């Protein structure tokens, strides 16, 4: 997949991975795409920790499972479609842990404004995931482990001024993801004033 529009329209959450390793060269291309994202005041507050270590990935996986088992499942059970709930369940209870790489993304709150940490980090995360899709890799934006910020920071040794923002599992998809389900843009787009729909 080389065209940027193809990548944008195909990219979606992958929560089941094969154990095929991911090359450093591919990760470098993804990270290079990530750091070309915009950020408030161009402070580029992102910090990435690429986790391959088996014990560290297991610890991150355990944190995700804990967050899902204690709070996430109960919160989500009446909010998500049955299919999505089942996929998130599989991901949180092992699928994400099994990814050969976890990228833990942090926001350096000394380098960037704490107030715009999310706005400055997530464009980079999106670039990273689009690059993964373009390379034929699966990834997913997950934030559930951020609920255990202290424990997550301990695993990757983030100092206190680096706030964990997301965990991105990366690997080769265990099965085809199929097309993402999205409402057509025209149903969410107005001309000149809200409600004067595109079509």
Ligand X SMILES: Cc1cc2nc3c(=O)[nH]c(=O)nc-3n(C[C@H](O)[C@H](O)[C@H](O)COP(=O)(O)O)c2cc1C
Q: How far is the CB of 44 from ligand X (least distance, A)?
A: 20
Judged by CB under 6 A, the residue of 31, 33, 60, 91 near ligand X is 91
Query: Can residue 133 be called a binding residue for ligand X (CB under 6 A)?
Result: no
Q: In what order do the strands lie in the sheet with 162-171?
A: 46-51, 101-108, 162-171, 138-139
The smaller minimum CB distance to ligand X, of residues 114 and 159, is found at: 114
Nearest one of 129, 167, 134, 90 to 1, comparing CA atoms? 134
| Residue range at the interface with ligand X (CB under 6 A); choices 43-51, 103-111, 141-149, 183-191 | 141-149
CA geometry: angle 122, 125, 130, nearest 5 deg: 125
Alpha carbons 81 and 147: distance in angstroms, whole number: 23
* Dihedral pair phi/psi, residue 170, rounded to 5°: -135, 135
| Residue range at the interface with ligand X (CB under 6 A); choices 53-61, 102-110, 135-143, 188-196 | 135-143
Alpha carbons 80 and 139: distance in angstroms, whole number: 20
Query: Can residue 141 be called a binding residue for ligand X (CB under 6 A)?
Result: yes
* Structure tokens, 154: 């301990």
Judged by CB under 6 A, the residue of 23, 180, 186, 197 near ligand X is 180
Judged by CB under 6 A, the residue of 7, 9, 10, 12 near ligand X is 12
Give the count of residues interacting with ligand X (CB under 6 A): 12
The smaller minimum CB distance to ligand X, of residues 31 and 88, is found at: 88
Query: Can residue 117 be called a binding residue for ligand X (CB under 6 A)?
Result: no
- Contact (CB, 8 A) for 97 and 136: no
* Structure tokens, 5: 């529009």
Query: Can residue 84 be called a binding residue for ligand X (CB under 6 A)?
Result: yes
Contact positions toward ligand X, by CB under 6 A? 12-13, 15, 84, 88, 91, 140-144, 180
């Amino acid at each position: 997949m080389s065209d940027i529009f193809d990548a944008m329209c195909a990219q979606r959450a992958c929560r089941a991975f094969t154990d095929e390793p991911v090359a450093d060269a591919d990760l470098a291309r993804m990270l290079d795409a990530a750091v070309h994202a915009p950020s408030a005041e161009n402070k580029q507050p992102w910090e990435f920790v690429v986790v391959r270590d088996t014990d560290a990935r297991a610890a991150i996986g355990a944190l995700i499972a804990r967050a899902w088992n204690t709070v996430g499942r109960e919160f989500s059970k009446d909010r998500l479609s049955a299919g999505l709930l089942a996929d998130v369940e599989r991901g949180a209870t092992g699928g994400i842990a099994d990814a050969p790489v976890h990228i833990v993304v942090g926001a350096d709150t000394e380098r960037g404004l704490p107030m715009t940490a999310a706005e400055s980090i997530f464009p980079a995360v999106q670039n990273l995931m689009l690059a993964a899709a373009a390379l034929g890799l699966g990834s997913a934006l997950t934030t559930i482990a951020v609920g255990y910020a202290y424990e997550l920071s301990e695993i990757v040794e983030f100092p206190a001024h680096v706030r964990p923002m997301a965990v991105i599992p990366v690997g080769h998809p265990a099965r085809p993801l199929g097309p993402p389900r999205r409402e057509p843009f025209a149903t969410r787009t107005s001309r000149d004033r809200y409600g004067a729909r595109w079509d």
